[in-house]
């Protein structure tokens, strides 16, 4: 665990660092607490976002867990942005499109919930998730981010109707109401589900630390599974330290007011 850092100086760089914890819900509470402590240490405070899953895999319903609801509201009151992150997170669609079948098989382990949904189903889940999360935190959600960052045509159509402020995928952040791209560049993330994927994510994170410094906006995303491997935690800490030195920990909401070039 990294040592508690001193408060960040006031004259922070103009470049932005956007960090987030994915898959937040009652079932991941212990891991989220650990990740939140790491991010808060390295970013000098609650300068990150959380992506909330209303009912992860149909097994951890937020609506039934009053204690976790209170914890979410406390985090939100402290300034942590709250995104709606699907509903179940689990992909239960039958994919007819070949490209969607490939993404579902190779880009995620059955987690791309919004990859194969029709627009009506996608919109229902978006609106229900938005209503639940906003009721819990007592304020507007920061936006919507599809599980595994995968959006099918139905999800993209629904997103334009759901009245979210922001959306994000692997390569960009955009205004969900206008489709204006607000930031570009690959998100730095890690994988824990296999030795090969872990090694690949460690390699990419090392490459990113060396190559992504010129970007105006750098994005770092962590997941509950990351806490299961020391190598991932070490890489996350090194990546946070590297970019916190050159990029100001920021809020996603800033992008709508003053979008940057990269």
Positive or negative: CA dihedral 181, 182, 185, 187: negative
47 located within any domain: yes
- State pTM to two decimals: 0.88
The mean predicted confidence, pLDDT, of the chain is 90
5 located within any domain: no
Question: Does 223 have pLDDT greater than 60?
Answer: yes
| pLDDT tens string 176-217 | 999 999 999 999 999 998 999 999 999 999 999 999 999 999
262 located within any domain: no
What is the mean predicted confidence (pLDDT) over 129-150? 98
9 located within any domain: no
Biggest alpha carbon distance in the chain?
A: 53
Paired strand residues for 248: 16
Can you give the residue range of the structural domain that contains 149?
Answer: 16-257
CATH number at residue 108: 3.20.20.370
2 located within any domain: no
- Distance (Å, whole) CA 249 – CA 244: 7
221 located within any domain: yes
Torsion angle (degrees, nearest 10) of CA 151, 154, 155, 157: 120
246 located within any domain: yes
| pLDDT tens string 34-46 | 999 999 999 999 9
Question: Does 91 have pLDDT greater than 70?
Answer: no
| pLDDT tens string 163-175 | 999 999 999 999 9
Residue 82: exposed, middle, or buried by beta-carbon count in 10 A (0-12, 13-18, 19+)?
buried
Paired strand residues for 84: 52, 144
214 located within any domain: yes
Output the pLDDT for position 99. 45
State how many domains the chain has.
Answer: 1
- Given a contact cutoff of 8 angstroms between Cβ atoms, the answer to whether 34 and 65 are in contact is no
Name residues whose C-beta falls within 8 Å of residue 16's C-beta, 6 or more positions apart in sequence: 183, 216, 217, 218, 247, 248, 250, 254, 255, 260
Paired strand residues for 219: 18
């Amino acid at each position: 665990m990294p040592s508690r850092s001193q408060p960040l100086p006031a004259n922070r760089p103009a470049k932005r660092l956007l960090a987030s914890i994915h898959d937040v819900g009652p079932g991941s509470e212990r891991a989220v607490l650990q990740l939140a402590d790491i991010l808060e240490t390295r970013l000098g405070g609650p300068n990150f976002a959380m992506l909330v899953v209303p009912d992860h895999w149909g097994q951890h319903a937020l609506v039934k867990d009053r204690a976790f609801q209170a914890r979410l509201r406390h985090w939100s009151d402290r300034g942590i942005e709250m995104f709606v992150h699907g509903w179940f997170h689990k992909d239960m669609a039958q994919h007819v499109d070949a490209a969607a079948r490939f993404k579902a098989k190779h880009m995620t382990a059955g987690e791309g919930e919004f990859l194969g949904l029709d627009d009506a189903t996608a919109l229902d889940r978006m609106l229900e998730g938005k209503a639940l999360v906003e009721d819990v935190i007592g304020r507007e959600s920061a936006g919507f981010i599809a599980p595994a960052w995968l959006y099918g045509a139905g999800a993209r159509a629904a997103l334009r109707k759901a009245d979210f402020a922001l959306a994000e995928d692997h390569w960009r952040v955009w205004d969900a109401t206008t489709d204006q791209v607000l930031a570009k560049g690959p998100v730095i993330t890690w994988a824990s589900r296999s030795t090969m994927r872990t090694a690949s994510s460690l390699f990419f994170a090392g490459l990113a630390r060396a190559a992504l410094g010129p970007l105006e906006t750098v994005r770092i995303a962590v997941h509950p599974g990351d806490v299961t491997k020391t190598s991932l935690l070490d890489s996350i800490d090194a990546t946070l330290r590297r970019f916190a030195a050159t990029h100001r920990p920021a809020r996603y909401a800033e992008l709508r007011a003053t979008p940057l070039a990269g």
